[in-house]
Amino acid sequence: MIPATYPTREEIARLTARMLLEIGAVNFNTKEPYILASGLPSPSYIDCRKLISFPRIRSTLMDFLTVTVMRNAGFEAFDNIAGGETAGIPFAALVAERMALPMTYVRKKPKGYGRNARIEGAMSEGQRVLLVEDLTTDGGSKLSFVDAIRETGASCGHTAVIFYYDIFPETEKTLGDHGVALHYLCTWWDVLAEARAQEAFDEVTLSGVEAFLKDPRAWQAANKR
């Protein structure tokens, strides 16, 4: 069912941050930084995959994501909802259910046998496709998914995520230059503000995380092992 209520963008961001903190999806550690997929260190790590195990929070956030996309892009803007392998698949299915649209998913690379397909499900030429994922950092990984969608003859000018890092200035330009608009629920800045309001972490940790968020490249260079 398409949600009928429309919280403000600011309230959606605050509540999303609160829910991520509540389920332990937010991890801050300035003493022993996490190592990201890039191999670089970070004092913060977000695990949006945990959301699938919390039905009430999962449902609320999918309502938020659906209304955010419709408000920003239009109520009749899409014909197909595609999830990016693997984290985007459950969220794409939930958004597609709410919007009463077909759901597909995009593999990171061809599976190497059978049809050797990257697109699973029915996607056809001319369809307007929304790419759904759990999060985005610098936007780079989205481009491969978008290109795979466009190779079918469909169009993809929008991607929606639950969480956007919002600390790398090139992200929205990278997507924009590829003809893709980004829609999201909250950022690290929203999570940091809510963590402070809740006193979810000690101030030393929060200040250390804030230093990273303000200049992540410099922080990573100084803490690289």
Which residues define the annotated binding site for 5-phospho-alpha-D-ribose 1-diphosphate?
Answer: 107-108, 111, 133-141
- For residue 73, the 8-state DSSP code is H
| Nearest partner of 33 among 209, 163, 171, judged by Cα | 209
Per-residue tokens: 21? 């903190």
Per the annotation, where are the binding residues for orotate? 137
Per the annotation, where are the binding residues? 107-108, 111, 133-141
Could you tell me which residues come within 8 angstroms of residue 195 by beta carbon, excluding any fewer than 6 positions away? 17, 21, 26, 28, 201, 206
- Which class for 115: exposed (0-12), middle (13-18), buried (19 or more C-beta within 10 A)? exposed
